[in-house]
């Protein structure tokens, strides 16, 4: 369930911004933009307070996003069930294929056609809703982490614990046109996979902080680095539920004491490098000039309708500082999870 914010003391525009930020955080900026029929940048500006968010705009966005939901939900307290058909953000095959392309880093419909061993014309028909996925593209896509049922219907879960190819043993020789491969077939249709161990892991690499500044980024208090993690898809599903794509996940090693007691120097931090803007109040890895920081960034509205970023430490010995226009500021990524060490 996704709780939408409401506070009687808040300005109504601030409520809408917080509600919009909650949806973007849940479903990603790209998906929310398609549903609201707004450019990603405009949504980001609305959340940050750089764009107006009046009643007329909110009403149109509600109609675009969920026409069957009660009006006014962007401006009031409501709990959204992501499985509710009226709030389905992946309601078309085109939506789901765009999500697949983003996570697999497939840059164009032409590349998707090549990946699925079909023509570009057929890919265009998928996005226009003229035709559904057939056996050949389903075979290609089922070798990825995505569930066949989710690809076909949008029904969760999105990811399959093991690829459907491994689970059901399908291959080019035992699939005929029209065969439903969303459920196990009778035994004569299935070639069960052999007992040879299959790689079912994701490598989460170390983030190359030095490379971000030509090896000139200063990280005060660095006590060594964690090179990489090897995890399986089930671990990711249970422990990292929100991210912009598996390929964007990386490990940052905590440095300095400014964020204690949240984490200690040397602790592993999981970062999403697909987030390169301050899209919500959260912990970010960023730089100002050639100094790197990991801190909570809070968005503070200004009297002229803009916003400044306030960098805050968990350790009270470190004062907050503001990041304002004109500073050499860059966001490397958003910290999703930290693992705090305890010495015994």
For the stretch 110-125, pLDDT in tens is 889 888 888 888 888 8
For the chain, the C-alpha Rg in angstroms (whole number) is: 23
Task: Give 206's DSSP letter.
Answer: B
For the entire predicted model, the pTM comes to 0.44
Position 173 in a domain: no
Judgement on whether residues 250 and 217 belong to the same structural domain of the protein: yes
CA distances from 83 to 1, 32, 89, 91, 183 (A): 9, 16, 9, 11, 21
Position 211 in a domain: yes
Judgement on whether residues 27 and 109 belong to the same structural domain of the protein: no
- The pLDDT of residue 40: 80
Alpha-carbon distance of 89 to 94, in angstroms, equals 11
CA distances from 317 to 242, 253, 285, 335, 341 (A): 32, 21, 20, 22, 21
Judgement on whether residues 24 and 131 belong to the same structural domain of the protein: no
Judgement on whether residues 302 and 276 belong to the same structural domain of the protein: yes
For the stretch 76-131, pLDDT in tens is 755 555 445 455 555 678 888 888 887 788 888 888 988 888 888 888 888 888 88
Judgement on whether residues 143 and 228 belong to the same structural domain of the protein: no
Contact 260, 313 (CB under 8 A): no
Contacts of 266 (CB under 8 A, 6+ apart): 223, 224, 253, 254, 255, 341
Least confident of 193-197, 250-254, 276-280, 320-324: 193-197
- The pLDDT of residue 64: 82
Contacts of 208 (CB under 8 A, 6+ apart): none
Residue with tokens 């919500």: 280
Alpha-carbon distance of 93 to 127, in angstroms, equals 7
| pLDDT > 90 fraction of the chain, expressed in percent and rounded | 16
Judgement on whether residues 216 and 330 belong to the same structural domain of the protein: yes
Judgement on whether residues 214 and 131 belong to the same structural domain of the protein: no
- Domain span including residue 287: 204-338
Which domain CATH number covers 105? 1.10.260
């Amino acid at each position: 369930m996704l709780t939408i914010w409401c506070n009687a003391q808040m300005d109504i525009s601030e409520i809408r911004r917080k509600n919009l930020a909650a949806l973007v955080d849940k479903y990603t900026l790209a998906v929310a933009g398609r549903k609201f029929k707004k450019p990603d940048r405009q949504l980001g500006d609305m959340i940050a307070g750089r764009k107006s968010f009046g009643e007329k705009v909110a009403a149109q966005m509600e109609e675009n996003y969920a026409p069957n939901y009660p009006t006014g939900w962007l401006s009031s307290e409501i709990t959204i069930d992501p499985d509710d058909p009226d709030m389905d953000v992946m309601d078309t095959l085109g939506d789901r294929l765009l999500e697949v392309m983003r996570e697999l880093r497939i840059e164009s419909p032409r590349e998707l056609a090549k990946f699925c061993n079909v023509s570009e014309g057929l890919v265009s028909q998928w996005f226009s809703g003229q035709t559904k996925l057939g056996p050949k593209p389903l075979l290609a896509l089922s070798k990825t982490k995505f569930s066949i049922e989710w690809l076909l219907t949008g029904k969760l879960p999105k990811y399959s614990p093991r690829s459907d190819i491994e689970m059901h043993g399908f291959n080019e020789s035992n699939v005929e046109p029209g065969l439903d491969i969303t459920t196990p077939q009778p035994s004569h249709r299935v070639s069960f996979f052999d007992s040879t161990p299959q790689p079912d892991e994701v490598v989460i690499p170390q983030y190359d902080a030095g490379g971000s500044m030509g090896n000139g980024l200063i990280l005060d208090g660095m006590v060594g680095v964690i090179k990489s993690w090897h995890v399986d898809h089930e671990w990711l599903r249970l422990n990292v539920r929100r991210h912009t794509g598996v390929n964007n996940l990386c490990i940052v090693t905590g440095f300095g004491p400014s964020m204690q007691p949240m984490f200690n120097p040397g602790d592993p931090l999981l970062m999403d490098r697909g987030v390169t803007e301050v899209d919500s109040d959260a912990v970010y890895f960023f730089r100002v000039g050639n100094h790197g920081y990991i801190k909570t960034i809070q968005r503070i509205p200004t009297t002229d309708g803009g916003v400044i970023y306030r960098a805050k430490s968990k350790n009270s010995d470190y004062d907050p500082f503001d990041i304002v226009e004109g500073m050499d500021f860059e966001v490397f990524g958003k910290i999703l999870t930290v693992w705090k060490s305890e010495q015994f």
